[in-house]
């Protein structure tokens, strides 16, 4: 990877006072060492949405949890909500997680970390995931969507991969673009010449 992540480390503003209150209650429960909530991924989300900066070290500990959903949720919170550039490397490492859910989230986070950079090393790693028939389809699809983030594709562009449904990889993936990236070439994209207002 040649390009530095573009994240600025500034958490989003709280969505509501209710989220802040719920996040504080969950955080206090964890601090007191009481029983872990049944739904830890939800607890992580609420703490992150509450912008509890003091919860970051606790959420970082969940990156090592045995439960893959908890690892995935922790990474997602640290990158997509808190915008912590130091965890872009964590996302890169989690692309090799033993479970598909952390790998899926890691691919999304890598795209977010390197959005609009057109970093060929990042794109080659994502393209190798897309091309791997041994990889779970949800991870391949997340990696493909992340490629479009790195290439700075507007969300409204018709070439952007779908979310919410399984792609037909044979028909819907731009295999010429994948081959170009695998050869170390940054592809020319149609949206580079277009003016699109999202």
102 and 126 inside one domain: no
Position of tokens 């695998």? Answer: 182
153 and 171 inside one domain: yes
128 and 161 inside one domain: yes
Q: Which of 88, 113, 138 finishes a domain?
A: 113
How many domains does the chain contain in total?
Answer: 2
Q: Which of 113, 136, 162 finishes a domain?
A: 113
User: What are the start-end ranges of the H helices in the chain?
Assistant: 17-31, 40-49, 56-61, 68-76, 88-94, 100-113, 120-131, 137-150, 169-172, 175-182
Is 41 among the domain residues? yes
The rounded Cα 58 to chain-centroid distance in angstroms is 19
Is 69 among the domain residues? yes
Q: What is the pLDDT of residue 35?
A: 57
Is 197 among the domain residues? no
CA proximity to 26, closest of 14, 16, 35: 35
Q: Which of 96, 113, 130 finishes a domain?
A: 113
Domain enclosing residue 30, as ranges = 7-113
Query: Residue 34's CB: how many other CB atoms inside 10 A?
Result: 9
- Tens digit of each residue's pLDDT (9 = 90 or more) over 91-102: 999 999 999 999
Rounded CA-CA distance 136/125 in Å is 16
152 and 173 inside one domain: yes
pLDDT mean values, one per 10 residues, the chain (198 residues): 51 61 73 66 74 83 92 94 92 98 98 96 98 96 96 89 88 96 93 60
Q: Is the dihedral of CA 72, 6, 111, 119 positive or negative?
A: negative
129 and 38 inside one domain: no
Residue 3 vs residues 20, 149, 151: alpha-carbon distances, Å: 35, 14, 13
- Tens digit of each residue's pLDDT (9 = 90 or more) over 71-128: 999 999 999 988 999 999 999 999 999 999 999 999 999 999 999 999 999 999 999 9
135 and 92 inside one domain: no
């Amino acid at each position: 990877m040649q390009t530095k992540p573009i994240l600025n480390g500034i958490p989003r503003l709280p969505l509501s006072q209710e989220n802040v209150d719920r996040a504080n209650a969950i955080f206090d429960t964890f601090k007191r060492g009481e029983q872990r909530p049944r739904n830890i991924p939800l607890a992580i989300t609420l703490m992150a949405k509450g912008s509890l900066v003091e919860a970051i070290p606790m959420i970082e500990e969940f990156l090592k949890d045995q439960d893959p959903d908890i690892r995935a949720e922790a990474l997602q919170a640290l990158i997509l909500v808190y915008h912590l550039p130091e965890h872009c490397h964590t996302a890169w490492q989690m692309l090799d997680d033993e479970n598909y859910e952390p790998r899926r989230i890691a691919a999304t986070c890598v795209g977010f970390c390197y959005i609009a950079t057109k970093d060929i090393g990042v794109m080659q790693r994502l393209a190798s995931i897309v091309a791997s028939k041994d990889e779970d389809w949800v991870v391949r699809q997340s990696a493909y969507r992340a490629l479009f983030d790195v290439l700075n594709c507007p969300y409204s562009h018709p070439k952007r991969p779908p979310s919410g449904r399984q792609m037909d990889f044979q028909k819907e993936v731009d295999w010429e673009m994948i081959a170009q990236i695998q050869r170390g070439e940054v592809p020319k994209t149609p949206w580079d010449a277009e003016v699109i207002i999202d």
